[in-house]
Structure 1
Amino acid sequence: MKNPYSDETFLARWLNGSLDAKEKIAFEKSEDYRKYVTIINKIDTLDSPEYKKDKIFRAIKNDIVRNKKNTSLIPNWSYGIAATLLALIGLFFFFNKATTHTTDYGEQITIKLLDGSEVILNSKSELSFKESDWKNNRKVTLSGEAFFKVKKGSDFLVETASGNVKVIGTEFNVNTQKDFFEVICHEGKVKAIGYNSNEAILVKGKAFRVANNSVENWETPTTKPSWISGETTFTNTPLKQVIFSLENQFKITFNKDKIDQNQRFTGSYNHENIELALKTIFVPMEISYTFNNENNIVLVKE
């Protein structure tokens, strides 16, 4: 079969911008052109450093030379296409790869980021970020709760399903669940942006929350989250979030059909003793709790 292009490095030269006018016009009319443009567009959408086409050209050309065969049922020019495709797909997955950290029930881990910033991840939480573009784009994605100690530098962005936090260098806590977004500033200044575009600028001791489409602000004297030291504290927090915290800490579930999960709780519980934690939260709220089995508890309003 005749090579439809002028030589085996045709596609590599296209990537490098080295085609002459005649070659370029002919190629842009082909079906292959549309396919390769689709791949290039996919790569261009990546949040990654700009790749160098001349390096790709050299790598692909070397690949073609290594894989060239004198006799084959497959035409030689197809190896060039395959090499180009593999190189592009390889770039796509390399630049799109994220580093992810997760915690189990009752577990906390400390993560050192590439710029020296530190993240303490609370139980049943997940943090991910891309190392490849960290110098240009300090951005992490969070599900659950974490305490951040951010080194000064370029903008630092925390993205969550319920809202975002933007800072330069500071210490703050983020707790995000479905229909719940809470940010407490412990040092410096942060900008919290909840869903529905609710936002606030927070300085040390200020807190911001969006729960069930309701925006709340309050003050706290704490210098760091209490959960880091083994005790979780709540300030006028919906009971639904308090229960969610208990589930993540002790690996238990609750039957909540007979209580109002929207009522508010202010107080704390200790991570060491589940019985004491249940008594501390539910007795003042006049809610009885009964173990249905080892890992399930039934709640009933008294």
Structure 2
Amino acid sequence: MSYNRFLELLLRKKSGALSAEEQEELNGFLGNNPNYQELSGMVEQLYETPLKEIREVDRTYLRKRWDSLKQRTAQLPAGAGNQAPAGKTRRMRYYMAAASVAALLLVGAFYFQRRGLTTTRDTVVATKMGSKTSMKLPDGSQVWLNAGSELSYDKDFGKVNREVHLSGEAYFDVTHDAEHPFIVHTNSFNIRVLGTAFNVKAYTSDKESEATLVRGSIELSMNNEDTRKILLKPNEKLVFKKADDSREKTVRGESAMPEIRVTGLQTPFKDSVTVETQWLHDCLAFRDHKLKDIASMISRWYGVTVEINDADLKEKEFSGLFKDESVEQVLHALKLAGGFDYTISKNKITIVP
């Protein structure tokens, strides 16, 4: 694993965007490279530095943080024990210092990009893992934000435009304004509406993104070479499956295209609420979902880390509806249905056959 990949995984973990597979990758690397545990702690400490009293993250601030990080890096051991040759010790410290430089740059960029301190998006609302929130936008539109999500918009919202950027999941009840269409930008697609209610699920760590229409109409356009515009009707859902990263090119040498499909909504539970909007009623719901995807949902819902140590088990499908149950109760119910076992250690859950 490269230094940049290691640091990227650390930052994705702190932002709540780390998938179960990426968590396994990170844990495996740290297990085989114990020296990086210290660097991991340094990056987490830098990330957690309070920003509420800092109006601008400038070069002076980053330099102070870097000096502190550099001093601690110089004290890192070369490896297990004190028997490492001097040359190896120097090389290890050099590598750790180089990694720390990358850490500073990545964390600095992360502040700018994720916390909106120097971007044109003046307002950023984010939720932690295991929490939800709701808000009213300046135009009167209502937004409910699910766990591990972020919504941002600029100072001209409602005046010049009504555009928001979403990473995660949100339900929108949009106020009608014919002169200012409401546009939601995600990493997979853009949604254009005038006045309607819909749900968007677009976590960057998920392989699929969804847009679910409850009432009104929405128009979707893709963020790739696909020029189609798709119009959804009430009780329809668009599912956008990202192209497989393992096959960057097709047999014709062209970029792999994502899979797009439109389906009707299902109300498999007695309360007649669709699976896609059950989270608004504080219910964790899934229907015919693979366990690896349920693991991501549980991770965000309860603020825990979930690992699955079996490839076949990851692909097994489950359905369920849970309200007010603890994470242990949810896992026990799935265990009875799926024939697997699990262990819980603090905030880490490991699922085994």
TM-score above 0.5: yes
Aligned to 2:214: 186
| Runs of 4+, deviation exceeding 4 Å | none
Aligned to 1:266: 319
Deviations 1:225-254 (A, max 9, x none): 111111022233343332111111111112
Residue 174, structure 1, aligned to residue 200, structure 2: yes
Residue 202, structure 1, aligned to residue 227, structure 2: no
170, 187, 209: which one pairs with 1:161? 187
**2:211–2:239 CA contact under 8 A, matched in 1:** yes
Q: Secondary structure at the match of 2:301?
A: helix
Offset at residue 123 of structure 1 (A): 1.0
Offset at residue 206 of structure 1 (A): 1.0
Aligned to 2:331: 278
Q: What is the one-letter code of the residue matched to 2:165?
A: T
Offset at residue 209 of structure 1 (A): 1.0
Gaps of 5+ in 1: 1-92
166, 171, 182: which one pairs with 1:142? 166
Q: What is the one-letter code of the residue matched to 1:177?
A: Y
User: Which runs of structure 2 are paired with 1:206-285 in the superposition (5 Å)?
Assistant: 206-212=236-242, 213-216=258-261, 217-221=263-267, 222=273, 225-260=277-312, 261-285=314-338
**1:192–1:199 CA contact under 8 A, matched in 2:** yes
Aligned to 1:129: 153
Q: What is the one-letter code of the residue matched to 2:164?
A: V
Aligned to 1:289: 342
- CA root-mean-square deviation: 2.5
Aligned to 1:37: none
Q: What is the one-letter code of the residue matched to 2:333?
A: T
How has the CA–CA distance of structure 1 residues 139 and 279 changed in structure 2, closer, same or farther, with 3 Å as cutoff? Answer: same
Report the more deviating stretch, 133-142 or 234-243.
234-243
Aligned to 2:127: 103
Compare the two structures and name the one with the higher strand fraction.
Answer: 1
Distance of 1:195 and 1:180 partners within structure 2: 14
How has the CA–CA distance of structure 1 residues 191 and 245 changed in structure 2, closer, same or farther, with 3 Å as cutoff? Answer: same
Report the more deviating stretch, 208-217 or 162-171.
208-217
Distance of 1:130 and 1:287 partners within structure 2: 47
Aligned to 1:56: none
Aligned to 1:76: none
Q: When the two structures are aligned, how many residues end up with a matched partner?
A: 208
Distance of 1:264 and 1:119 partners within structure 2: 31
**1:175–1:181 CA contact under 8 A, matched in 2:** yes
Deviations 1:11-61 (A, max 9, x none): xxxxxxxxxxxxxxxxxxxxxxxxxxxxxxxxxxxxxxxxxxxxxxxxxxx
Gaps of 5+ in 2: 1-116, 243-257, 268-272
Offset at residue 95 of structure 1 (A): 8.8
Offset at residue 121 of structure 1 (A): 0.5
How has the CA–CA distance of structure 1 residues 120 and 236 changed in structure 2, closer, same or farther, with 3 Å as cutoff? Answer: same
Report % sequence identity.
Answer: 28
Offset at residue 97 of structure 1 (A): 4.3
